[in-house]
Amino acid sequence: MYIKDVLNAKGYDVSTIGHEQTIAEATKMLIRNKIGSLIVKDDTGEIVGIFSERDALRECHLNEGNCGEVKIKDVMTTNLIFAEPEDDVNYVLGIITTNRIRHVPVMNEKKLVGIVSIGDLVKKLLNEQQFENKYLRDYIQGTTPKG
């Protein structure tokens, strides 16, 4: 199973934010869209980082709750790890686990085409496993459809 399979199931939408915007603006976007991260772009549209709930919490803790006007560029994660649509899901899960991250942007030919989270990957793997288990049970019981 590949990252493109996950994107086909969940969709290709990616929420972005400008690097000059504030944590308050980012938090509103995260809550409104029910997501955990935003891809950060500079004034030219170039991807320069990722901003997550974890970044917001850390900064608000460090600033004793006065973080609303802090610029995204000052707190975003800049050391990005990207996946490609043809990457194996288990490979990307390994990267996520090893690097202790939860979101991975997906690039295809230097273009942002999606983003996957650890939740997206686990959900896809569980669905696949449930299908395989049912198929094997049906096969053992002799109830699989003949094609």
Domain map of the chain by residue range? Answer: 3-117
Q: Which residue has the higher pLDDT, 122 or 40?
A: 40
Q: Quote the CA–CA distance of 74 and 83 in Å, as a whole number.
A: 25
DSSP class of residue 10 equals H
DSSP class of residue 92 equals H
Q: What is the pLDDT of residue 134?
A: 64
Q: What's this model's pTM, rounded to 2 decimal places?
A: 0.83
Instruction: Name the band, by pLDDT with cuts 50, 70 and 90, for residue 125.
Output: confident
Cβ–Cβ < 8 Å for 123, 113: no
Q: What is the pLDDT of residue 144?
A: 65
List the single range of 77-81, 119-123, 135-139 with lowest mean pLDDT. Answer: 135-139
Chain segment 34-52, per-residue pLDDT in tens: 999 999 999 999 999 999 9
Chain segment 44-89, per-residue pLDDT in tens: 999 999 999 999 999 988 888 678 899 999 999 999 999 999 999 9
Q: What is the pLDDT of residue 145?
A: 66
| The residue to which tokens 């969940």 are assigned | 10
Q: Output the CA–CA distances (angstroms, integers) from residue 47 to 18, 39, 58, 62, 100, in the order listed.
A: 9, 7, 22, 26, 21
Superfamily classification of domain 3-117? CBS-domain (3.10.580.10)
Q: Quote the CA–CA distance of 131 and 126 in Å, as a whole number.
A: 9
